[in-house]
């Protein structure tokens, strides 16, 4: 007879985030996004979680990586602007990321994708 071992204690969600203040989290996120090009999708996933756990909105920073595969856009991604919408085709998964175009978007994208 197999006896059931209660796993309930192990199954409790474990919060592994170190307790850092919201300000520290914001700093960390800011620093992270200034090096976004060198980050892996796993790292982007983690930073998103961190932001969520501190109720920090990523805002325009969300436009620096693919919504679908969470890769930072690189030279293999292509950008087009049409009818007031900006579209970035992810070079990794071919997903079209689309949002309403604001002038500020161009600054962000040019800085981060390093067009020159």
Query: Contact positions toward Zn ion, by CB under 5 A?
Result: 66, 68-69, 90, 92-93, 95
Comparing CB distances to Zn ion, the nearer of 93 and 104 is 93
Comparing CB distances to Zn ion, the nearer of 25 and 97 is 97
Q: How far is the CB of 42 from Zn ion (least distance, A)?
A: 14
Question: Alpha-carbon distance 60 to 57, whole Å?
Answer: 9
Comparing CB distances to Zn ion, the nearer of 69 and 106 is 69
Q: How would you classify the pairing of strands 85-89 and 96-100?
A: antiparallel
Q: How far is the CB of 31 from Zn ion (least distance, A)?
A: 23
Question: Mapping DSSP to helix (H, G, I), strand (E, B) and coil, where does residue 80 land?
Answer: strand
Residue closest to 63 by CA, chosen among 19, 107, 15:
107
| Greatest Cα-to-Cα distance within the chain, rounded to the nearest angstrom | 69
């Amino acid at each position: 007879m197999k006896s059931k071992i209660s796993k309930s204690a192990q199954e409790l969600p474990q919060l592994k985030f170190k307790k850092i203040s919201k300000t520290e989290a914001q700093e960390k996120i800011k620093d992270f996004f200034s090096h976004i090009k060198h980050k892996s999708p796993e790292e982007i996933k983690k930073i998103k979680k961190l932001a969520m756990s501190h109720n920090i909105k990523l805002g325009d920073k969300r436009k620096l990586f693919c919504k679908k595969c969470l890769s930072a856009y690189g030279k293999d991604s292509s950008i087009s602007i049409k009818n007031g919408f900006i579209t970035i085709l992810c070079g990794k998964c071919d997903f079209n990321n689309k949002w309403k175009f604001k002038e500020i978007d161009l600054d962000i994208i040019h800085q981060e994708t390093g067009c020159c």
